[in-house]
Amino acid sequence: MVLDPPLPRPMIGRLVVIGLGLIGSSILRAADARRLAEVSVAYDAEPAVRARVAELGIADEVASSPAEAVKDADIIVLCVPVGAMGAVAQAIAPHVKPGAIVSDVGSVKGAVLNALRTHLPSGVHVVPAHPVAGTEYSGPDAGFATLFKNRWCIVTPPEGADAEAVQAVTALWTALGANVETMTAEHHDLVLAITSHVPHLIAYNIVGTAADLEKVTSSEVIKYSAGGFRDFTRIAASDPTMWRDVFLNNREAVIEVLGRFTEDLIALQRAIRWEQGETLFDLFTRTRAIRRSIIEIGQETAAPDFGRERG
State the number of CA atoms in the 13 A half-sphere of 158 facing the CB.
17
What pLDDT is attached to residue 220?
73
Question: Which of the pair, 141 or 294, is modelled with greater confidence?
Answer: 141
> Residue 193 gets which letter from DSSP?
I
Chain centroid to CA 200: how far? 13
User: What is the predicted pLDDT for the residue at 310?
Assistant: 44
- Predicted local distance difference test score (pLDDT) of residue 208: 83
Summarize the confidence of residues 16-37 as an average pLDDT.
97
- Please say if the pLDDT value at position 299 is more than 70: no
List beta partners, residue 12: 37
137 by Cβ neighbours in 10 Å (0-12 / 13-18 / 19+) ranks as middle
Q: What is the pLDDT of residue 306?
A: 47
Q: Contact 295/301 with Cβ under 8 angstroms?
A: yes
DSSP 139: S
Question: H helices of 11-73, where?
Answer: 22-34, 47-56, 66-70
d(CA 41, CA 18): 8
Q: Which residues pair with 68 in a beta bridge?
A: none
Calculate mean pLDDT across residues 174-203: 94
pLDDT value of residue 78: 98
Amino acid 311: pLDDT: 40
**What is the three-class DSSP state of 38?**
strand
Domains of the chain from N-terminus onward: 12-183 (3.40.50.720), 188-274 (1.10.3660.10)
Check pLDDT > 60 for residue 72.
yes
pTM of the model: 0.83
pLDDT over 60 at 64, yes or no:
yes
Band of residue 117 on the pLDDT scale cut at 50, 70, 90: very high
Positive or negative, the CA dihedral 223, 224, 228, 232 is: negative
